Amino acid sequence: MASLNVGNLGEYLREQRRAAQLSLRQLADATGVSNPYLSQIERGLRKPSADVLQQVAKALRISAETLYVRAGILDEREREELETRAVILADPSINERQKNVLLQIYDSFRRENGFVPGPDADGKAEADAGTGGDAGPRNGDDAGADTTEDQDPHS
């Protein structure tokens, strides 16, 4: 039942707010969400929108995806996939082409294991591939086994 899920969300938010040593009023000021509305969320009386959850997550410095799962907006598997993608995209030690290749390999492995990438995943990978996100040489590994084009690393 949705109210149980919302109740769990409220309890979790209260715990996170207290761990951050914020009063309800301070959280309201930080998020731009009214104090009474936040109180109702914490007590399990209201189901907040994704936008409100994002503001709360930002103010508490926690994952918005975790809040989406607790609120029943996002499936646990979707959250894990989004977090994996976010980590890859945020890594400053690899360039954009390398990030695109990693995401394409990740999608390939997920498809091979029976998971279909979300619509954002496929759209992002295809859009990036079309903007010069060339996969580059495969160095003989199986990651590009389904690729129809051989690429010479020395050309």
Is there a contact between 98 and 107 (Cβ–Cβ < 8 Å)?
A: no
pLDDT, greater one: 115 or 108: 108
Confidence bin at 69 (pLDDT 50/70/90): confident
pTM of the complete model: 0.52
Q: Work out the pLDDT band at 150, boundaries 50, 70, 90.
A: very low
| The predicted structure's pLDDT at residue 42 | 95
For the segment 29-51, the average pLDDT, to the nearest whole number, is 95
The Cα angle at residue 64 between residues 10 and 29, in degrees rounded to 5: 65
d(CA 69, CA 6): 10
Q: How far apart are CA 24 and CA 142, in angstroms?
A: 53
State the chain's mean pLDDT as an integer: 76
pLDDT at position 118 is 54
Q: What is the mean pLDDT of residues 31-35?
A: 96
At residue 90, does pLDDT exceed 60?
yes
